[in-house]
Amino acid sequence: MTEHRVYNFYPGPATLPTEVMEQAQKEFVNYQGLGMGIMECSHRGKEFDQVLQTAEQNIRELMGISNDYAVLFLQGGASLQFSMVPMNLNPDQDTALYADTGSWAEKAIKEAKLLGPTKTVFSGKGNNYTSIDDCESWDMATENGEDPAYLYVCSNNTIFGTQFHRFPEFPKIPLVADMSSDIMSRVIDINRFGMVFAGAQKNLGPAGVTVVIIRKDLAMKVGDNVPTMLKYTTHIDKGSCFNTPPTFSIYMVGLVLEWIKRQGGLAQVEAANAHKAAMLYSAIDNSDLYRGTVEESCRSQMNVTFRLPNEDMEAEFIKQATENGMVGLKGHRSVGGIRASIYNAMPVDGVKALVEFMGEFERKS
């Protein structure tokens, strides 16, 4: 039996399914009777190759990914992708378009500006990133009239608590999405994207591996001046094993993918996530103490942000929640407040416990 576990609301690294953790624990020192753990196996051996191939196949199955796309397991976190995207997808130095919906998009824009011309087609900075405008209002024109290299969005804002519920539709412009905090949380049409990437440490597994899904024709655009290790084609050609990959992290991603399949797939996971988010937002909206921080039309189903009347009360809320087995509720240091990250692996009982605690805390205040 697993000892009592707290409800982990941290934004990342984040909670993982308990049964996945238990399986990894069981196999840690003796993977499938080998007499050693999977992290000790050669990344070129048949045992790890099976782990890698199965993980890729399950991603393809769950997300409906065709052979037009490559699925890669890379290192460097999503942050390295901020540079790799413009390096690989904009060899002709055309204008790359970016939507600034918060801190992670800002970081991506900063890196892209070092590598070529960029244009910010939307910025939520003026309203403190509390909403995302209708994409149809974005000015997509480039200064010299050339076709944009790509349009870049961050699908979910972990810090401010916003999320794209409808993605931009500009069929002639490759759409690139940082989905680090909501990949595998809902059904998407991957064919609408040129590229998707995600750090694993929120919905897919532990930190250490980044999943990249890229249309092969886009990957082939890369110029000769990009370093070998930073070319997507390098990793496509070598099946994510150009160098030693983060084997244990990939193994853990594989276990999480199997867990998602056992839940019934992404449609069922999406329904469960919508239910959890609705419970929590309802508690906020029907309260005189708590106040949501973003517009209802773009509220995140992964990171629920809210405030109390003052910071002292917020500190007391966090303290008492921790004492009651609910950790990780402190908002990002740049914005303060409360943030409850309710990724796939957060059980509905965890959200129920938080809602009950919120009601009790309000009654006593």
At 39-66, the pLDDT tens digits run 999 999 999 999 999 999 999 999 999 9
Quote the DSSP letter at residue 330. B
Contact 294, 130 (CB under 8 A): yes
Total residues belonging to the chain: 365
Tokens linked to 60? 């393809």
Least confident of 63-72, 76-85, 124-133: 124-133
**Common-topology check for domains 22-262 and 265-364:** no
Helix (H, G, I), strand (E, B) or coil at 154: strand
Contacts 24+ apart (CB under 8 A), 267-270: 267/187, 269/184, 269/185, 269/186, 269/344, 270/185, 270/186, 270/187
At 100-137, the pLDDT tens digits run 999 999 999 999 999 999 999 999 999 999 999 889 88
Provide the pLDDT for residue 284.
Answer: 98
pTM: 0.97
Provide the pLDDT for residue 195.
Answer: 98
Question: What does the alpha-carbon distance between residue 112 and residue 36 come to, in Å, rounded to a whole number?
Answer: 43
Domain ranges for the chain, please list them. 22-262, 265-364
Catalytic, out of 202, 231, 276, 330: 202
What's the chain's Rg over C-alpha atoms?
A: 21
Mean pLDDT of 282-297: 97
Topology of the domain covering 265-364: Aspartate Aminotransferase, domain 1 (3.90.1150)
Question: What does the alpha-carbon distance between residue 61 and residue 228 come to, in Å, rounded to a whole number?
Answer: 30
Mean pLDDT of 211-223: 98
Tokens linked to 33? 């009777």
Catalytic, out of 100, 178, 231, 259: 178
Topology of the domain covering 22-262: Aspartate Aminotransferase; domain 2 (3.40.640)
Task: Decide if pLDDT at 364 tops 80.
Answer: yes
- Counting Cα atoms < 13 Å in the Cβ hemisphere of 129 gives 22
User: Which residues share a beta bridge with 120?
Assistant: 98
Report the amino acid identity of residue 11: P
Provide the pLDDT for residue 3.
Answer: 66
Question: What does the alpha-carbon distance between residue 106 and residue 4 come to, in Å, rounded to a whole number?
Answer: 39
178 is catalytic: yes
Question: What does the alpha-carbon distance between residue 65 and residue 80 come to, in Å, rounded to a whole number?
Answer: 23
**Chain centroid offset of residue 131 CA:** 19
> Please, which residues have CB within 8 angstroms of residue 329's CB and are 6 or more apart in sequence?
9, 317, 318, 321, 322, 338, 339, 340, 354
Q: Which residue has the tokens 């029907």?
A: 286
Question: What does the alpha-carbon distance between residue 18 and residue 114 come to, in Å, rounded to a whole number?
Answer: 42
Q: How far is CA 320 from CA 23, 26, 187, 278, 306, in A?
A: 32, 34, 36, 23, 17
Provide the pLDDT for residue 4.
Answer: 82
Angle, CA 108 vertex, CA 105 and CA 114 arms, to 5°:
145
CA dihedral 252, 258, 260, 262 (to 10 degrees): -140
State the chain's mean pLDDT as an integer: 97
Report the amino acid identity of residue 232: Y
Provide the pLDDT for residue 1.
Answer: 39
At 145-192, the pLDDT tens digits run 999 999 999 999 999 999 999 999 999 999 999 999 999 999 999 999
Question: What does the alpha-carbon distance between residue 60 and residue 215 come to, in Å, rounded to a whole number?
Answer: 13
202 is catalytic: yes
Mean pLDDT of 244-250: 98
Q: How far is CA 327 from CA 15, 45, 108, 339, 358, in A?
A: 11, 40, 29, 11, 14
Catalytic, out of 104, 231, 259, 330: 104
Angle, CA 314 vertex, CA 312 and CA 320 arms, to 5°:
105
- Which candidate, 157, 252, 237, 238, places its Cα nearest to that of 200? 252
